[in-house]
Amino acid sequence: VAHPAQNTDLTAVWGNGWSEVWVVGKGGTAIRASGGAWESFPVGTSDLVDVWGNTNGFFAVTKKGTCLKFGGSAWESIGGMMTGSKVWGSASNRVFFAGTNLTSSGHVGTMLKWNGWEMKDVALYQAPSDFSALGGVGMHTWVGYWSLHKDYSDGGFNPQTMNTNLGFVRDIWAFDGDTAYAVGDLGMAKYDGWAWGAVNVPTAQSLYGVWGLSEDSLWAVGGNGTILHWDGSQWNDIPNPAHGTGTTLREIWGTSDHDLWVVGDEGTVLYRD
């Protein structure tokens, strides 16, 4: 897909349909597709690492920890931390930002929550030194680094049982409170309501993004142009222009199996209709 950020490493994509799709990346890159036409809304020079939103607004976070909200014509700061890594929400007044802060004991994983008018600290138990993944559904929210923590109904994040090793957790997609998937440097895991267990996938590449329409249609993207699709009975390695090129695909988002966006390094933007 042609766009205004060619050759820029792109890190995340999110939208609310064909009418509005945001892509962010290095060097303050933030571009928006609306009905196929692209506009650029740069945010200084700090790398943007994630974006999330819905019809009521879009949010982003920079590697330097600035939390941003799109104000209609430009991005505005609504808070921050020492470094930023992820943003996800279930509504425009329940948006989580994950990253790190520096304390007297060193770096510690930090989460903030935007409630629609101000930013609040989020309670964390046994927090790791950083966070590299964030996702959820409804009032169920997960955050991850080497392992995963879950929060229900804003009661505080607690560590969960991990029966597999993902290395660094890179992304999380949930269908309900008892069914979620996570991807990472060493593959994929599934949460069954009790613990996280390994999912066998047909690649040795690191996986960075996961998105699903249902448990019968799950997608994952990763290193060397890898795109995987679960069709309800088996995993398929999907041919695409980035496959085998060495390009790392960083994120996938869509509204259906025929409205899918994938972004990655060197300005890669792929669309499946």
Domain 168-272 falls in which CATH fold? Lipocalin (2.40.128)
Query: Comparing C-alpha atoms, which of 75, 79, 86 is closest to residue 109?
Result: 86
Q: What are residue 48's DSSP bridge partners?
A: 62
Name, in order, each residue with C-beta under 8 angstroms of 265's C-beta and a sequence gap of 6 or more. 9, 10, 247, 248, 249, 250
The residues of the chain scoring below 50 in pLDDT are: none
pLDDT tens digits along 232-264: 999 999 999 999 999 999 999 999 999 999 999
243: amino acid identity, one letter: H
- What are the boundaries of each domain within the chain? 7-161, 168-272
- pLDDT of the residue at 152: 83
- Integer Cα distance of 249 and 246 in angstroms: 9
What are the φ and ψ backbone dihedral angles of 198, each rounded to 5 degrees?
-70, 145
- HEC secondary structure over 18-61: CCCEEEEEHHHCEEEEECCEEEECCCCCCCEEEEEEECCEEEEE
63: amino acid identity, one letter: K
Say yes or no: domain 7-161 is CATH 3.40.718.10.
no
Q: How many residues does the chain have?
A: 273
Structure tokens at 71: 């104000």
Please check whether the two domains, 7-161 and 168-272, share a CATH topology: no
The answer to whether 66 and 46 are in contact (CB under 8 A) is yes
- pLDDT of the residue at 251: 99
- pLDDT of the residue at 154: 83
The answer to whether 110 and 98 are in contact (CB under 8 A) is yes
Structure tokens at 194: 């009790």
